[in-house]
Structure 1
């Protein structure tokens, strides 16, 4: 993990005094893909790869941000927060400040209403500016939600330094608002919830309609299992292309079937859906309906039989994403198939799709063989070499110093 005892590069860029360091994790979604914005169920866990934000307090109203991965400084005034004036990666941070400033105007939205926080306590009119320096060990474009890690590290820092007294579910809603309306990515609330609510050795079973969150013991270590991440190094971007189209298809299907969201449907509605919808929209809807059920089945299985029994559900999830939702790519399919054939109990792509990573649930003694087989398979296919590493379920956003 990143050494957070010494600010990395802050003093090389800023001359303000460091007042603290905050970090937040990326996440792996164990199961439940593209169900979050359909008011459905998800089961992510925070991972032991984090984004750290080192912060200095200013005497004016400027927010300035720099990082280890890009030279230069981005800045914006707290008196001129506007998504139209934001660009590039700094939008994920500045967008949090903007979302906090307008949160009260969104109090009736489902995410804020469910969170139950008192948004009238958020007042940035007298807030002082801050210098932010970002360091991250969450891979960008790998489907591990590097964006939410940055948003949530910044959110907990802002909340503390600006004396904003709201719960973590409200901060998750702030993060979603920033990503939807400032960044322009129509994502659900899963990533921010996992990054803020995660606990060690546990998953976060989230009802994306009510925002009820239950901690579920994963039991991987006790069962001798590891979660192997296979980063295909095929980058994806939520704000463009297929992700937006998939969300539109889901909304189209819900409207045609007369429901508020696809959460209101179950397996008993599939026959009517097939008769009502065009083939493509039907397959999108079928994925969401069956994926919601797979999440529920995974949680039940973890609680009753343990993690050794969930592999078939991970496998079925990948088939659904590949064939019905059509968000996989050949590199992901090869990673999954190779892991399944060489010792994984189950494997699936994770994240929004169109690139990124697959995960494989692997007995510890089989991990080296699975890794070697995947690397060889990619070489044989003349694909870019994948990056492989294991992750553990970790604590959510926190102050580190």
Structure 2
């Protein structure tokens, strides 16, 4: 297999001087509440997006090439932040948006040549978009010499996704990609914008299963869920979901109506589940963790209505394996509408657990399941410049 470095050299005829890696993420619990100011519990994972970068004058142009698109290169002006509308160029808006968000702060992107490589499947709910945004943010900071905090970087990337991509996301993905810590989950308070690392139990593996259903968050369903929660908040006469109890939601069921009632019930119960899950994780209470993950998935399926048959089959298969055999919890991860499931399993049974999932999935849908084992990893990072050498 040709290395990333050799591919870059073949495409550009020069050697890169900078390597940037940004991981994907899974969320253990706390779904669709980051944009409501709730707490969430993501984990940065090993699959990642890698940028190889060669600073160039190029008339100030930024030249982009993705290994997934073979010979197609794109040139972007560092002063033109107009979103791309052609479908095959839409992914460029993540880079253009980050450049625009930094330019708003007076930080311009120097000319460079960029190679983009990924071991993250796009549309699988593993935050490939936030990884790409964060990697470009680090690129801009390194080449411009103007760095910022992990939080400020995440906020700029979030703005890029809001304004250039059209997805009104919360801050979870960008923070988890930027602040990930090996062997830890992150308890992120999205209202206070604070991060508390929580160590994962030793011997626990993360198994990620791609449902095979690609989600596209800019198509309106994600925005509708957020708007529904905002409408429910107004009916409840509150300015923060952190102030709302389940009792209040139940008392106002008629005023909310069926759809908004279900959205509100998910919001308040999911916030409570995150608090309980954090305590269970700290105290290594595996059965409690598993139950909370199952309850979370059922709420996302029934009240928030963002699951799909493939996700449901995978989660049910996880629990059918049995906690007594080493299963510690399963749920959909990410915004839903397809994407992936996350499963916590003891490392000794991870391989047999995957075979179990594949068998159940094949039987239900007649196709193979893409599934992998991963670990909690560190967040986005730069590689020392002098370690990059092409193969001889």
> What SS does the aligned partner of 1:164 have?
coil
Which residue in 2 is equivalent to 1:116? none
Q: Does structure 1 residue 98 correspond to structure 2 residue 100? A: yes
Cα pair 2:110 2:140 within 8 Å, conserved: no
Cα distance in structure 1, aligned partners of 2:310 and 2:6: 35
Stretches of structure 2 lacking an aligned partner (at least 5 in a row):
385-392
Which residue in 1 is equivalent to 2:378? 395
Residues 337-376 of structure 1 mapped to structure 2, 5 A cutoff = 337-343=316-322, 344-376=327-359
Tell me whether 388-397 or 248-257 shows the greater mean CA deviation: 248-257
Which residue in 1 is equivalent to 2:69? 70
> What SS does the aligned partner of 1:346 have?
strand
Which residue in 2 is equivalent to 1:118? none
Tell me whether 369-378 or 240-249 shows the greater mean CA deviation: 369-378
Stretches of structure 1 lacking an aligned partner (at least 5 in a row):
105-121
Cα distance in structure 2, aligned partners of 1:389 and 1:165: 34
Q: Does structure 1 residue 82 correspond to structure 2 residue 64? A: no
Shift of 1:15: 4.0
Which residue in 2 is equivalent to 1:38? 36
Cα pair 1:40 1:208 within 8 Å, conserved: yes
Which residue in 2 is equivalent to 1:161? 143
Cα distance in structure 2, aligned partners of 1:368 and 1:340: 16
Cα pair 1:145 1:191 within 8 Å, conserved: yes
> What SS does the aligned partner of 1:9 have?
helix
Which residue in 2 is equivalent to 1:177? 159
Cα distance in structure 2, aligned partners of 1:253 and 1:136: 39
Cα pair 1:16 1:57 within 8 Å, conserved: no
Cα pair 1:22 1:54 within 8 Å, conserved: yes
TM-score normalised by the chain length of structure 1:
0.89
Count of residues in Structure 1 that have an aligned counterpart in Structure 2: 376
Which residue in 1 is equivalent to 2:389? none
Cα pair 1:218 1:307 within 8 Å, conserved: no
> What SS does the aligned partner of 1:79 have?
coil
Shift of 1:8: 4.7
> What SS does the aligned partner of 2:299 have?
helix
**1:223-271 deviation per Cα after TM superposition (whole angstroms, max 9, x unaligned):** x322211111111011113212111111111122122243332223222
Cα distance in structure 1, aligned partners of 2:268 and 2:233: 11
Which residue in 1 is equivalent to 2:232? 253
> What SS does the aligned partner of 2:63 have?
strand
Q: Does structure 1 residue 194 correspond to structure 2 residue 176? A: yes
TM-score normalised by the chain length of structure 2:
0.91
